[in-house]
Amino acid sequence: MLLTITYTGKNTQDLGYLLHKNPYRAQSFDLSFGNAYVFYPKVSNEETTAALLLDLNPIDLARGKLGSTEGGLFDYVNDRPYVASSFLSTALVRVFGTAMNGKCDKKPELVDQPLDLTACVHMLPCRGNEEMPKEVFEPLGYTVETRQTELDEVFPEWGGSAYIDLTLHGNVTVAALLNHLYVLIPVFDRQKHYFVSEEEIEKLLKHGEGWLNAHPARNKIVSRYFHMKRSYAHKAIDRLIESEPVDDADVGDEETEKAEAQVPDEVREKRISLNTRRLDAVKNAVLESGASSVIDLGCGECKLTAMLLEENQIKRVGAADVAVHVLEKAKQTLRYDRMPPYKKNKLTLMQASLTYKDPRFSGYDAACVVEVVEHLDPQRIPAFERVLFEFATPNTVVLTTPNKEYNAHYEWLAEDTLRHHDHRFEWTREEFKAWAAQICERFGYIVEISEIGDVDEACGAPTQMGVFRKCV
């Protein structure tokens, strides 16, 4: 919410002309979300500092503007009024728009003149991206200084905060500095206060003119600028580079990136291939069992379900998940509404829980439980066992779960942590074997356990799969 720009040199009061703001006058501007103030803490021949201060109304943010019927976007307890975010960019355009366009009638000779400028951005959200300030500003010729802050000095154990004070020194034109800030501040924060629409592409191209295309972190900047809107990022990059193809890996979508921020790229790629191999293995196990009907328990977004639907051997497919929003997403992925009747009739989608006995689970030849058990609390496993093996009793159960021992291969994973934050446990190969054995003993099944993924001599493979067959 506070940006200061300092000009050092001779006759630095000229900064007032460049910014079109009189150094001897404090001014206020109405913005749609509050006020912006411009004032000069320091004015002298040698050094002049202009300050842009935002005054956001937290109640407006939380409740929507006074008199409007739309609710607000934010919580009452919110960092928005205090941090440097897209609000600041919007204010820059409103307050310094002329300067950003490189216009100055009174001192036209200064417009294209690089000056010694220092910009100080207070409280820039920068979680987990310590290198990013340098990565994005240094190629533009700035010296970058950052000051880290801790979350609360009374509770040092809570660790550091996500905010930095960012100071940039450079010999640049005022217009360039302002345009750099306009584009790059929201790149750090990624939470935008307005609906991101296609018009944003124009804005980005305009303010990035002359520097963004050649920027080494261009793709990252663009994709983060458009955060949720992957397609806009693609379009913007296409237009920036005029048809040079874009590498998909650089333009991740928000959700996966959020969850995977800690995971190195090569691991991510490996994981994608592991998932494919896993689903193939499960599908093959189902087909080999001779099943003509199968239920995908914990179907998630129905990746496996979709594969099973394609198989001619399979005449009936059930897909169950407990999360309604996931099922909604699955319907989109499957294009459920437009599915041809012969396929749609094959498929039954249902919200269902694996810890409640459910007659809808019965009557399938096979059941798949892929990467699901580890999401159940250990205390709920007995209920799950009975729901599946005592009441649903499919002839074949194909169940996969991570092999904990293999976690040693994931260097990015701290010791004694699980692969996913929602995993309640992960089994070693011995533990899985023991669990499977008692299932067979109690419910009359035989099991064959195999491994999926690259097998390591000491640790086994990343995924273990049990194919249970009912004894008749």
Partner 1 sequence: MVGATSSGKSSFAKKHFLPTEILSSDFFRAMVSDDENDQSVSREAFDLLFYAANKRLDLMKTTVVDATNVQPSARKQIVDLAREQNVHAVAIVLNLPERVLQERNAARPERGYPEHVIRKHVSDLRRSIKNLKREGFRFVYVLNSEEEVNEAEIVRTKMWNDKKDEHGPFDIIGDVHGCYDELVALLQKLGYENSEPDGFAHPAGRKAVFLGDLCDRGPKNVAVLRLVMKMVKNGHALAVPGNHDVKLVKYLLGKNVQITHGLDRTIAELEQESPEFREEVRAFLDGLVSHYVLDDGRLVVSHAGLKQEYIGRGSMRVREFCLYGEATGETDEYGLPVRLNWAADYRGKATLVYGHIPQLEIQAMNGTWCIDTGCVFGGKLTAFRFPEREPVQVDALKEYYAPVKPLSPQQNVSDDMLTAGDVQGRLHLTTALMPSILVQENNAAAALEIMSRFAADPHWLIYLPPTMSPCETSELDGYLEYPTEAFAYYRGRGIQNVVCEKKHMGSRAVIVLCHTEEAARKRFGVTDGSRGIIYTRTGRHFFDNAEIEKEVLARLDAVLTKTGFWTDFNTEWVCLDTELMPWSEKAQTLLSKQYAPVGRAGRDALAAAVAALEETCKRQNRAFEVDAVTSGQNVEPMALLERFRAKRDAIDGYVKAYREYCWPVHSVDDLKIAPFHLLASEGHVFNEEQHVWHMEKLKQYCTGVDPIFMATDYICVDTADDASVQAGVDWWLKLTGSGGEGMVVKPETYIAKRQTEVLQPAVKCRGAEYLRIIYGPEYLLPDNLQRLRKRSLSRKRSLAIREFSLGMESLTRFVNKEPLYRVHECVFGVLAFESEPVDPRL
Restricted to residues 135-154, the positions that interact with partner 1 (CB under 8 A) are 149-152, 154
Closest CA to 111 of 173, 69, 41, 68: 173
Compute the least distance from the CB of residue 457 to partner 1, in Å: 34
> Residue 161: helix, strand or coil by DSSP?
strand
Burial tier of 366 (Cβ tally within 10 Å: 0-12, 13-18, 19+): buried
DSSP class of residue 318?
E
Compute the least distance from the CB of residue 62 to partner 1, in Å: 7
CA distance 86 to 190: 8
Report if residue 420 touches partner 1, rule: CB under 8 A: no
Restricted to residues 330-369, the positions that interact with partner 1 (CB under 8 A) are 351-360
* From candidates 11, 47, 58, 344, binder to partner 1 by CB under 8 A: 58
Restricted to residues 302-331, the positions that interact with partner 1 (CB under 8 A) are 322-324
* From candidates 8, 11, 47, 62, binder to partner 1 by CB under 8 A: 62
* From candidates 2, 73, 205, 459, binder to partner 1 by CB under 8 A: 2
How many residues touch partner 1 (CB under 8 A)? Answer: 76
Task: Give the H/E segment covering residue 88.
Answer: helix 86-100
Q: Residue type at 184?
A: L
Angle between helices 230-241 and 218-225 (to 10 degrees): 140
Compute the least distance from the CB of residue 40 to partner 1, in Å: 6
Per CB under 8 A, the segment of 54-62, 204-212, 221-229, 277-285 that binds partner 1 is 54-62
Restricted to residues 212-271, the positions that interact with partner 1 (CB under 8 A) are none
Task: Give the H/E segment covering residue 281.
Answer: helix 265-288
Which two three-digit tokens encode residue 187? 């790149």
* From candidates 9, 11, 53, 254, binder to partner 1 by CB under 8 A: 53
Cα end-to-end span (Å), the chain: 71
* From candidates 8, 9, 73, 79, binder to partner 1 by CB under 8 A: 79
Nearer to partner 1, 236 or 302 (CB): 302
CB 294 within 8 A of CB 367: yes
Angle between helices 218-225 and 199-207 (to 10 degrees): 140
Restricted to residues 21-50, the positions that interact with partner 1 (CB under 8 A) are 21-22, 24-30, 37-43, 49
CA distance 225 to 247: 17
Task: Enumerate the β-bridge partners of residue 446.
Answer: 469
Restricted to residues 275-304, the positions that interact with partner 1 (CB under 8 A) are none
Compute the least distance from the CB of residue 351 to partner 1, in Å: 6
> Residue 1: helix, strand or coil by DSSP?
coil
Sequence-ordered list of residues with C-beta below 8 angstroms from that of 322, at least 6 positions apart, any chain: 298, 351, 352, 353, 354
* From candidates 111, 287, 383, 413, binder to partner 1 by CB under 8 A: 383
Nearer to partner 1, 162 or 436 (CB): 162
Report if residue 414 touches partner 1, rule: CB under 8 A: no
Compute the least distance from the CB of residue 117 to partner 1, in Å: 17
Which two three-digit tokens encode residue 110? 């200064």
Per CB under 8 A, the segment of 15-23, 183-191, 202-210, 441-449 that binds partner 1 is 15-23
Compute the least distance from the CB of residue 16 to partner 1, in Å: 12
What region does 247 belong to: left with phi over 0, alpha with psi -120 to 50, or beta?
beta
Per CB under 8 A, the segment of 162-170, 219-227, 286-294, 409-417 that binds partner 1 is 162-170
Residue environment code for 93-109, b if the CB has 16+ CB neighbours within 10 A, otherwise e? eebbeebbebebeeeee
Q: Residue type at 26?
A: A
Report if residue 103 touches partner 1, rule: CB under 8 A: no
Restricted to residues 165-184, the positions that interact with partner 1 (CB under 8 A) are 165
> Residue 243: helix, strand or coil by DSSP?
coil
Report if residue 375 touches partner 1, rule: CB under 8 A: yes
Nearer to partner 1, 23 or 208 (CB): 23
Per CB under 8 A, the segment of 16-24, 226-234, 274-282, 464-472 that binds partner 1 is 16-24
* From candidates 161, 275, 292, 348, binder to partner 1 by CB under 8 A: 161
Per CB under 8 A, the segment of 69-77, 283-291, 304-312, 443-451 that binds partner 1 is 69-77
What region does 181 belong to: left with phi over 0, alpha with psi -120 to 50, or beta?
alpha
